[in-house]
């Protein structure tokens, strides 16, 4: 090991050699959290938590991501940092009372976030007009989805975060089987009524966690996450679970927004994240074993709107070959 690498390791170990910083690292094992959430979980002031976060970040153990007025922290992604973090946390006794209290506090914070999103869905289940006016018409996005799937037919489809079931409606004619997954009872009730009205008997709905479904591995040819990621605490986990559900030649399609600064979507519409960079989605896809990543940006005409959003359609494949029967020319 080179002298600089040795020095960096020693400094990283020093950074970890403090109870609060160990607790922070342990709590962040679930994924990224905001500074205020960490303050609530650890029951400490923001200046104190911020000082510890800075030390961990300076030593390459955490990554800081500022988004609007919120700041997120997560574990560093380098192999060296991941190995060091996992090794240290493996030595943290599971029976430690403080660790148990932190996990209990974490569950309370996560439940607040979940309830906030659920309450929003209850209020907004039938009304999306105010948000939809901020980006290109959904029909344009839907056509882009159909175009990217145009060479496939008779495929098994999973719609993650199905909401009102629109994607199942859109693609039911080309899918041999469709499964819509959502955690909202209200949304599933609306989707179910739509499927019944359209007599789409080959489509079904499940109330499950998008990051941890009970569906078997490799059960889908196409998985779609349409305007879902910005609501989630752990979007990377949803992509990982989607990749698990894909057959060896399956395809994932993700629709969401490019980075923006419309804080009103966070406060008024419970958006957890204000858009995603292509590089961020690519990183999650590649970490999940997906390849042939691509991005298609659908921007509003700036002459008609000064505060518009750019919708993005990202896609990637489980392997170089896609499943499904090619449509006849």
- Asked whether 171 and 143 are in contact (CB, 8 A), the reply is no
Per-residue pLDDT of the chain (329 residues; tens, 9 = 90+): 566 667 777 788 888 889 999 999 999 887 778 899 999 999 999 999 999 999 999 988 998 877 667 788 888 878 888 889 989 999 898 889 999 999 999 888 877 766 765 665 566 655 555 566 677 788 999 999 999 999 898 999 999 999 888 999 999 999 999 999 998 877 787 788 778 778 788 888 988 999 999 999 999 999 999 999 988 888 999 999 999 999 999 999 999 989 887 777 777 667 777 888 999 999 999 999 999 999 999 887 665 555 688 889 999 999 754 444 434 43
Contact at 8 Å (CB) between 265 and 226? no
* Residue 220 placed within a domain: yes
Token pair for 245: 């559900």
- Domain residues for 288? 129-317
CA distance 313 to 169: 19
**Residue 43 sits in the same domain as residue 95:** yes
Structural tokens at position 116: 């906030």
Mark whether 7 and 95 lie in a shared domain: yes
CB 282 within 8 A of CB 260: no
In a domain? residue 329:
no
Rounded-to-integer distance, Cα 15 and Cα 198, Å? 59
Both 57 and 180 in one domain: the answer is no
| Number of independent structural domains in the chain | 2
Do 105 and 154 belong together in one domain?
A: no
Do the domain assignments include residue 59? yes
Q: Which CATH number is 28's domain given?
A: 1.10.10.10
Domain of residue 218, CATH code: 3.40.50.150
Q: Is residue 91 part of a domain?
A: yes
In this prediction the pTM is: 0.67
Question: For residue 43, what are the CA distances in angstroms to 113, 202, 271?
Answer: 18, 50, 25
Looking at the fold, whether 115 and 143 belong to one and the same domain comes out as no
Beta pairing class for 311-317 and 155-160:
unpaired
Kindly compute the dihedral angle of the four CA atoms of residues 182, 188, 194, 198, in this order, to the nearest 10 degrees: 60
- Residue 237 and residue 118 share a domain: no
Say whether both 159 and 293 belong to one domain.
yes
Domain-embedded: residue 52: yes
């Amino acid at each position: 090991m080179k002298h600089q690498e040795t020095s960096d390791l020693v400094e990283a170990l020093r950074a970890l050699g403090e109870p609060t910083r160990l607790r922070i690292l342990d709590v962040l094992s679930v994924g990224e959290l905001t500074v205020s959430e960490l303050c609530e979980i650890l029951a400490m002031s923001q200046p104190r938590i911020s000082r510890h976060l800075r030390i961990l970040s300076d030593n390459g153990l955490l990554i800081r991501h500022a988004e609007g007025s919120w700041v997120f922290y997560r574990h560093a992604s380098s192999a060296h940092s991941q190995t060091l973090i996992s090794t240290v946390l493996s030595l943290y006794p599971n029976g430690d009372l403080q660790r148990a209290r932190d996990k209990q506090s974490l569950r309370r914070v996560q439940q607040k976030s979940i309830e906030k999103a659920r309450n929003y869905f209850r209020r907004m289940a039938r009304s999306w007009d105010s948000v939809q006016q901020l980006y290109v018409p959904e029909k344009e996005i839907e056509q882009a989805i159909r175009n990217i799937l145009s060479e496939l037919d008779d495929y098994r489809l999973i719609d993650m975060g199905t909401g009102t079931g629109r994607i199942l409606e859109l693609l039911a004619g080309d899918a041999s089987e469709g499964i819509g997954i959502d955690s909202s009872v209200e949304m599933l009730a609306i989707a179910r009524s739509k499927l019944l009205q359209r007599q789409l008997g080959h489509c079904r709905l499940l109330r499950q966690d998008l990051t941890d479904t009970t569906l078997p591995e490799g059960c889908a040819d196409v998985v779609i996450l349409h305007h879902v990621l910005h609501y989630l605490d752990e979007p990377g986990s949803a992509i990982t679970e989607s990749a698990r559900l894909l057959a060896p030649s399956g395809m994932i399609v993700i629709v969401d927004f490019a980075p923006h600064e419309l804080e009103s979507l966070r406060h008024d519409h419970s958006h957890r994240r204000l858009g995603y960079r292509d590089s961020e989605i690519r990183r999650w896809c590649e970490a999940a074993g997906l390849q042939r990543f691509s991005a298609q940006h659908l921007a509003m005409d700036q002459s008609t709107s000064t505060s518009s959003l750019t919708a993005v359609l990202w896609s990637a494949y489980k392997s170089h070959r896609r499943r499904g029967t090619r449509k006849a020319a």
